[in-house]
Amino acid sequence: MKHDEPNGLIGLGKFFIAVGLVLLGVRLDILGLGEPHEYYRWQMLFLFFGLMALLNLKLVFSLILFAIGFYFLLPEMAIQIPPVVRTIFWPSLLVLAGIDFILRPLHCRRQHQQ
């Protein structure tokens, strides 16, 4: 069994931080969706897990999750994305994910050797 965290409560603490930040965003209507019940939809799961990945310092993975969540939320928000962004969004996301899959083992191997 691999123990990355010396204290088992760190993961629980990160979870509480993520839930607290999400609830704060809902209460302050940061995304401009309106009432709090408008925030509880499937797209928000991508944002929540993106926040969890960010707290675990998985930056590329969190960026991918945020991008997917915001892409599906944008039609309901007051923000319009330019046509060029719509054209390159999914291919760019796939390229970014591919680069992450290639570089992650190299990074893990280098950390393991130290």
Contacts of 37 (CB under 8 A, 6+ apart): none
- The residue among 104, 66, 71, 74 whose CA lies nearest residue 90 is 71
- What does the domain layout of the chain look like in residue ranges? 9-113
For 54-96, the pLDDT digits (tens) are 888 888 888 889 888 888 888 777 777 788 887 888 888 888 8
Number of neighbouring beta carbons within 10 Å of residue 62: 19
The SS3 of residue 28 is coil
Residue type, 51: L
For 35-55, the pLDDT digits (tens) are 777 777 888 888 888 888 888
Which of the pair, 76 or 2, is modelled with greater confidence? 76
Pair of tokens at residue 95: 């390229």
For 3-37, the pLDDT digits (tens) are 555 666 787 788 888 888 888 888 888 777 777 77
Cα separation, 18 vs 26, in Å, equals: 12
